[in-house]
Amino acid sequence: MTVDPFQHSPWDFWSRADDAARGRQRAAQQELLAQHPQWRFGADCFVSDLASVDADALVLGDRSYVAAGAYVTGEVAIGRDVSVNPYTVVRGDVVIGDATRIGAHTSILGFNHTMSDPDLEVRSQPLVSRGIRIGDDVWIGSHVVVLDGVTVGSRAVLAAGAVVTKDVPPGAVVGGNPARILKWRVPAPAPVGSLRARLAAFGDVVRGDADAVLERAWSAAVGLFADRPGAAPTVRAQCDAVELADLLQGGEPARLPDATRLLASWQDPRTGRVGALDAAGDVVPLAADDPDAAYHVLCVGYALDLLGAGFPHPLRLVTDGSPAELVARLDALPWDGEAWHAGHWTDALGTALRWTRERGDDVPAGWAETLFGWLATRADPRTGMWGRSAPGAGDLQLVNGFYRASRGTVAQFGIPVAYPQRVVDTVLAHARDPRWFTSDRLDACNVLDVAHPLWLTRDTGHRTEEVRALARTFLDGALGRWHPGAGFAFQVAGEPGLQGTEMWLAIIWYLADLLGCADALGYRPRGVHRPEPAAAPR
């Protein structure tokens, strides 16, 4: 019996196969996609007729292939140019980045059996899954085993026969059982002592560039700050300028000598909200449900706080509501699938409570207790967070929503997180998702929303070494992305601006503090991203 050689060796199928074979492969893929609407195949993929593919969800990127004898189940996302070679097993919650090569007879197992009940047969005990995340350009040799919960960093190498039970740093070459680092494909990370020196030097650089960063964002035509040259002025840009001047210069922006009066004048005395700016720099009202209306509670409030002032008028978000109305409002937020949006408004509610108390305005009886009681009782004990992610979309919304909601409530008021260890588990699993955390896809929002929850739960001691390894990876990358005289870009491939600069400087502080080195920076956030509680719970 003759077997089509492309079934076992498909890497050059699309360049060497005849038209009839190509037609059969396209037809087979179309049949698979018709049977499984939740599957997605990129261009020039190959799925062997001799593979067993029974995944609940499957993404196969351009030019990736699944060879004969492979066994694929669970929820699997595979990037471009990935080889799943003969007799490879990929099962459970597994995400594999671009250009990763997987040798034959390897097993990547994103789930595990429990054995907590000694009187119950293993086959009857429940399964658990923390998932596996493998980065870009990883070389996995033959007969490798990767166990549940492992993250393999980009450009790592897993030597043939390795049994990988712990995270593999980016660029490391590991082998053995259990696998350990043998050498480095890329330069090894510098020791902590060298990191402290890097942080100190970085702090000197950013303070020295502060004037240039702020001047670059000044719009002389309007007499206000924009996020970056050529952009329109915004309320947030003025607040970012105040935060950066306080952080790096210990004072107010020289270009805004009357910043307190200006920011205070933008609050509507009727609604307590702060509007937006038009192209001429004049304030215009925002709808009550506009996301900027929520964020301005934070950024304007904290900017005024840094300037030694506060909102001149009550925040109706708090003063005009009853506890029952607050519960209805929280229940109506889109926690399932759009947790970031829900967390965004919860942050505004908690921060508005802070400013209301500082102004001395009356808080409706039971309102604060209702807010914190709702959060305590609605946290999911499986994830430690509020709400659920949309199927197939990863945990981006869930984790980012947790950061926003916790920042303005439990973190701001010094109240413990309900399930801190589960928060750590969820965040570490999310940080392995190459859709958001490969080096070319990072943005300040996604990294901050990982760094802050890990920092907030650091006293648990849960998975500390993994947390520190992740913090070191992010920190090493961030320190090299400063644009001299311009600051940080919000997205790593974008243009530097005030928002990116303010956020990445805060991220760097949190990451450095997780490693015990934040004091070397010579700065500490005091505004929106301040680490210590800003108000007592009372």
DSSP 473-513: HHHHHHHT--BTTTB-BSBTTS-B-HHHHHHHHHHHHHHHH
Q: 256: helix, coil or strand? A: coil
Q: How far apart are CA 396 and CA 345, in angstroms?
A: 17
* 309 closest CA partner among 264, 273, 350, 352: 264
- Name residue 146's beta-bridge partners: 108, 164
Strands 39-41 and 163-164: unpaired
Distance CA(106)–CA(402), nearest Å, equals: 36
Please report, for residues 161, 207, 210, 429, the alpha-carbon distance to residue 253 in angstroms, rounded to integers and kept in the order given: 59, 14, 10, 40
* All residues at 6 or more sequence positions from 462 whose CB lies less than 8 Å from its CB, including other chains: 420, 421, 424, 425
Q: Please tell me the number of Cα atoms within 13 Å of 321 on its side-chain side.
A: 22
Both ends of the chain: CA-CA distance in Å? 79
Size of the chain, expressed as the number of residues it contains: 538
Q: How many CB atoms lie within 10 A of CB 447?
A: 23
What is the 3-class SS of 322-357, one letter each residue? CHHHHHHHHHHCCCECCHHHHHHHHHHHHHHHHHHH
Alpha carbon distances (Å) from 233 to 213, 224, 281, 294: 15, 6, 6, 18
CB atoms within 10 A of CB 331: 10
Would you call 341 a catalytic residue per the annotation?
no
CA distance 507 to 117: 42
What are φ and ψ of residue 474, in 5° steps?
A: -60, -40
8 A C-beta contact, residue 128 and residue 111: yes
Query: Rounded to the nearest 5 degrees, what angle is found at the Cα of 448, between the Cα atoms of 443 and 449?
Result: 105
CA-nearest of 100, 193, 206 to 154 is 100
**Options 8, 105, 113, 143, the catalytic residue:** 113
Q: Are 353 and 391 in contact (CB under 8 A)?
A: no
Pairing of the two strands 139-140 and 157-158: parallel
CB 507 within 8 A of CB 501: no
State the burial class of residue 327 (Cβ atoms within 10 Å of its Cβ: 0-12, 13-18, 19+): middle
Active site residues: 113
